Amino acid sequence: MGFELDRVGLVHANGQAQGQRALRAVSIVAARGERLAIIGPSGAGKTTLLRILATSIRPTEGRVSVLGAHPWQLGAGELRRLRSRIGFIHQAPPIPPRQRAITAVIAGRLGQWPWWKSALSLLYPADIAGPRDQLARLDLADRLFDRCDRLSGGQLQRVGVARVLYQRPDLLLADEPVSAMDPALADLAVSQLHSEAQSRGVTLVASLHAVDIALRWFPRVIGLKAGEIVFDLPPAQVSDSVLRDLYASETALPSQDSEPFHPHVEHAQEAAGAARASVAPPRVI
Amino acid sequence: MSAVSFAERRAALGFCLHCWLSLLLLAVLVWGSFAYLSLDLARLFTAESGRGMLQFAMRFFPPDISAEFLRKIAKGTLETLAISAVGTLLAAGAGLLLALPAAGRMGGVLKGLTRFLLNALRSVPELVWAALMVLAAGLGPFAGTLALALHTSGVLGRLFAESLENAPPEPARALAESGAAPALAFVYGTLPVITPQLVSYSLYRWEMNIRMATVLGFVGAGGLGQMLYYELSLLHEPQASSVIIAMLALVVLVDAASAWVRRRQMRPAG
Amino acid sequence: MPPALQPPLRDPDALRRTGWALGALLVLWPLLLIAEFNPADLFDARNLAVMGGFLGQFLPPNLSGDFLALVLKATIETLAMATAGIALAMLLAVPLGLALTHSLSVSRIGPGPDQGLGEFLRVLARFALLILRGVPELVWALLLVRAFGLGPAAGVLAIALTYGGMLGKVYSEILESGDTRPARVLLESGGGRLMAFFYGLLPGAGQELASYTIYRWECAVRASVIMGFVGAGGLGQLMDQSMKMLNGGEVSTILIVFLLLVLLADAISVFLRRLLA
């Protein structure tokens, strides 16, 4: 009951990338509780792949099945229920700057709570212990009632992670979830994603720029390049030569603590989002 | 010394046919306006009419500052403030409701319809709305409140719709993609982003509405204006001049307050 | 995490928020009372009958030739009032605005005997402008109608007074905000105030001055539309009469003309300002 992608492809239908191919014949089958890392150079299609799994874009080719359902054959209500079981950690956390951290975390459950409970929570949070515990896992409990525009980029990213942990999804997708954190915090955040996946049998898919984190934490690593799967291996078999091929055009292997290049934002759209969210410089090392 | 050529003379004139023609056209339009209105300025500024004006002006002095009348003025001022505040508040609420469809969040047909409605509300001046509302709700401050609310909802609705269109879509989209209902995604994801803008637009309109509320009373819609109209029609010039001074003070105070607030906002946060 | 560090399980902002909400209610409640906020008035049987009958006549608008001729005449009168009013306002604003402008002050340059007098005149000019623009144009119109009788003269002068005050203030602000060194150099080399303005400031600020004046003309058109409600001529006067007679057809015709006129003024203003840019 994880997910299944069967020869999925995507050609952008509109926007400035119109006609460009983002993904070609991607097939991945993941069981419940499996943990996958997706690595690859910038523009390889990692974000697009995750967004297809999140049912936020519809592939132009192939079949998608997520948590045992075919999202594009569902009615509106059923699709919403399915989506409330999918958590997506964005690289630039989509959180309004003036919102308090607790409200931003509570927003993870909007799809599950009755509407009156969500509406009242704008005035007084219906659950304080829950968000506090999730933030505590990421060492941020002391900022529970702070406004998000007072947080650094890395702290904001942890609020974004806490929101999705609080959502308690069955499928957890993470797009560069730790790109703005220092190595120790990045390790902490990824370890929390893991314990969540293991304790509740959550399927976890994370795209990562830092190869060392992918190899250290994930039992299955998928290399993506120019929209195609290059390899799908356990970390022990991901050798240096495999990685060199994957990052052929780049100079050094990216890692979390020796980031050789800036975290490239893969879509112009995201870049705009990141700029508007007025997050501090993405990298805080 | 060589002779100055025609081209040089022309350049020295700063010759620009199009500029001179525009100026000429303007002059003709202004002259035409005076002629059409048969305004004879010279007659207005003769010694005789000056004496008449002075006599007219002197009737307004000294202003009535008896305690009893000052109390009335205080009441009128409060009424003016209440009309403007309640009117602006109603308009902010209605403007937000109308801005949602006007920003295209409920389909193209509704977008066109609400845009038309907003434009219609906005184009009718407050005073005309007030005259209409006096018919609909009777004489008194409630008519003025409604008039301001109607005109201002048109203005604010349009501004709010622009804010909505320019708001970053990511926060609300992320929530919708985690299964939140559209209304909740809006209040959790979009509203917090645009609230400061909505508040500052509303305050700015409130400032303008205070000015407007002082004169709505001329058609019977309450406030200081109604007092002024009443006193003048009874030829009570000293009382009228007190009311005018109160209006002036109110406008100047509001001006100063808003300049002060704006200066504070300009200061870097620290 | 040690328990001591855990924040308490209640919202620390709740008390402050409740306070604000209560405060807002405490202010709003009397405001609603003072504004005689009572929506039921709208559904009062008598008001409904008056309004219903009145609105019922809105369709069709009165498009008879006689009435349209009247409307056309009033429309031209409205535009003429705004134009003449702004022209007079400039006559008022230019000297006052120049007097206010520090960078054109001769007495500022050296400690002359008349420095105190210059400052005094400036304060006086500032005060005059404040009063001129602080009194709403409709109030000026109401007073002037009493002095000059019904008709457009009062409207023109009302616009001249209020907009003269606004233009004078903004003119001096525009002149101060630009580069004032050329004017100062001219004054220091013995030039007069007026020449310092024409040679030193106008070339830099002329466009902005003209653009602001056009914008104010547009506002003056909107203002002259309603001047008639106090008897100062233009479309408003026609509307006031039709309204008093509860003639819905005429009112709806005038309303349509209002909209067109405001749109036209808007378009002309945008066009002229683009021409300047």
Instruction: Say whether A141 and C12 touch across the interface (CB within 8 A).
Output: no
The answer to whether residue B16 sits within a structural domain is: yes
Q: Is B244 on the interface with C (CB under 8 A)?
A: yes
Domain containing residue C122: CATH number: 1.10.3720.10
What average pLDDT does range A227-233 have in this prediction? Answer: 91
- C-alpha–C-alpha distance, residues A268 and A271, integer Å: 5
Nearest to C7 among A100, A125, A141 (CB): A141
The answer to whether residue C58 sits within a structural domain is: no
Instruction: Say whether B33 and C83 touch across the interface (CB within 8 A).
Output: yes
Instruction: Say whether A94 and B178 touch across the interface (CB within 8 A).
Output: no
Select from C235, C241, C211 the least CA-distant residue to C82: C235
Instruction: Say whether A56 and B173 touch across the interface (CB within 8 A).
Output: yes
Query: Is the confidence at residue B208, as pLDDT, over 70?
Result: yes
Are C164 and C97 spatial neighbours (Cβ–Cβ below 8 Å)? no
Helix extents (H) in chain A: 46-53, 76-83, 101-106, 115-121, 129-137, 153-167, 183-200, 211-217, 240-246, 268-276
Q: What are the strands, taking DSSP E only, across chain C?
A: none
- C-alpha–C-alpha distance, residues C187 and C193, integer Å: 7
Kindly report the nearest CA distance between residue B38 and chain C, in angstroms.
9
Nearest to B141 among C35, C81, C83 (CB): C35
Total tally of structural domains belonging to chain C: 1
Torsion of CA C157, C159, C161, C165, to 10 degrees: -160
CA distances in angstroms from C17 to A97, A104, A143, B89, B184, listed in the order given: 19, 18, 19, 19, 21
The answer to whether residue C51 sits within a structural domain is: no
Long-range contacts of B56-59 (CB under 8 A, 24+ apart): B56/C146, B56/C147, B59/B237, B59/B238
Interface size, chain A vs chain B, as Cβ–Cβ contacts under 8 Å = 86
The answer to whether residue C242 sits within a structural domain is: yes
Lowest mean pLDDT among A138-152, B196-210, C107-121: C107-121
Range of the domain at C149: 65-276
pLDDT for A21 equals 83
Nearest to B127 among C38, C50, C226 (CB): C226
Query: Is the confidence at residue A279, as pLDDT, over 70?
Result: no
The mean pLDDT value of chain B amounts to 87
At a CB cut-off of 8 Å and minimum separation 6, what does C241 contact?
A: none
Residues of A in contact with B174 (CB under 8 A): 88, 90, 94
Dump pLDDT digits (tens) for B49-76. Answer: 788 888 888 888 888 888 888 999 999 9
Dump pLDDT digits (tens) for B226-236. Answer: 999 999 888 88
Lowest mean pLDDT among A250-259, B39-48, C259-268: A250-259
Q: Is C45 on the interface with A (CB under 8 A)?
A: no
Q: Is A102 on the interface with C (CB under 8 A)?
A: yes
The answer to whether residue B223 sits within a structural domain is: yes
The gap between the terminal CA atoms of chain B, to the nearest Å, is 68
Dump pLDDT digits (tens) for B154-174. Answer: 999 999 999 999 999 999 999
More confident residue, A280 or B5: B5
Residues B46 and B147 in one domain: no
pLDDT for A219 equals 93
Nearest to A141 among C1, C10, C13 (CB): C1
The answer to whether residue B1 sits within a structural domain is: no
The answer to whether residue C254 sits within a structural domain is: yes
Band (A238; pLDDT cuts 50, 70, 90):
confident
Domain boundaries, chain A: 3-276
What average pLDDT does range A151-166 have in this prediction? Answer: 93
Instruction: Say whether C28 and B81 touch across the interface (CB within 8 A).
Output: no
- Backbone dihedral region of C147: left (phi > 0), alpha (psi from -120 to 50 degrees) or beta? alpha
Residues of A in contact with C16 (CB under 8 A): none
Instruction: Say whether B185 and A84 touch across the interface (CB within 8 A).
Output: no
CA distances in angstroms from A134 to A84, A153, A165, A167, listed in the order given: 18, 18, 7, 10
Range of the domain at B15: 6-58
- In this structure, the number of other CB atoms found within 10 A of the CB of residue B217 comes to 28
pLDDT for A285 equals 31
Residues of A in contact with C1 (CB under 8 A): 136, 141
The answer to whether residue C153 sits within a structural domain is: yes
Instruction: Say whether A142 and C5 touch across the interface (CB within 8 A).
Output: yes
Total tally of structural domains belonging to chain B: 2
Give the largest Cα separation in chain A, rounded: 56
The answer to whether residue B197 sits within a structural domain is: yes
Residue C237, Cβ density class (10 Å: 0-12 exposed, 13-18 middle, ≥19 buried):
buried
Residues B91 and B175 in one domain: yes
Kindly report the nearest CA distance between residue A224 and chain C, in angstroms.
39
Band (A269; pLDDT cuts 50, 70, 90):
very low
Instruction: Say whether A132 and C11 touch across the interface (CB within 8 A).
Output: no
**Crossing angle of helices C202-227/C152-177, nearest 10°?**
150
Query: Is the confidence at residue A157, as pLDDT, over 90?
Result: yes
The gap between the terminal CA atoms of chain C, to the nearest Å, is 64
Dump pLDDT digits (tens) for A18-74. Answer: 778 888 889 999 999 999 999 998 888 899 999 999 998 899 989 999 998 998 898
- C-alpha–C-alpha distance, residues A169 and A163, integer Å: 11
What average pLDDT does range A146-172 have in this prediction? Answer: 92
CATH topology of domain A3-276: Rossmann fold (3.40.50)
pLDDT for A176 equals 92
Query: Is the confidence at residue B46, as pLDDT, over 80?
Result: no
pLDDT for B18 equals 74
> pLDDT (tens digit, 0 to 9) for every residue of chain C, 277 residues total?
444 455 567 888 888 889 999 999 999 999 999 888 888 888 888 888 888 888 888 888 888 888 899 999 999 999 999 999 999 999 999 988 888 887 777 666 665 666 677 778 888 888 889 899 888 889 999 888 888 888 888 899 999 999 999 999 999 888 888 777 878 788 777 777 777 888 878 877 888 888 889 889 989 998 998 888 888 888 888 988 888 888 888 988 998 898 888 888 888 888 888 877 7
Dump pLDDT digits (tens) for B69-97. Answer: 899 999 999 999 999 999 999 999 999 99
Give the DSSP H/E element, type plus range, for residue A8: strand A3-11
Residues B105 and B223 in one domain: yes
Are B188 and A107 spatial neighbours (Cβ–Cβ below 8 Å)? yes
Q: Is B25 on the interface with C (CB under 8 A)?
A: no
At a CB cut-off of 8 Å and minimum separation 6, what does A46 contact?
A: A38, A39, A40, A175, A207, A224, A266
What average pLDDT does range A68-93 have in this prediction? Answer: 90
Instruction: Say whether C13 and A129 touch across the interface (CB within 8 A).
Output: no
Dump pLDDT digits (tens) for A191-211. Answer: 999 999 999 999 999 999 889
pLDDT for A218 equals 93
Residues B129 and B209 in one domain: yes
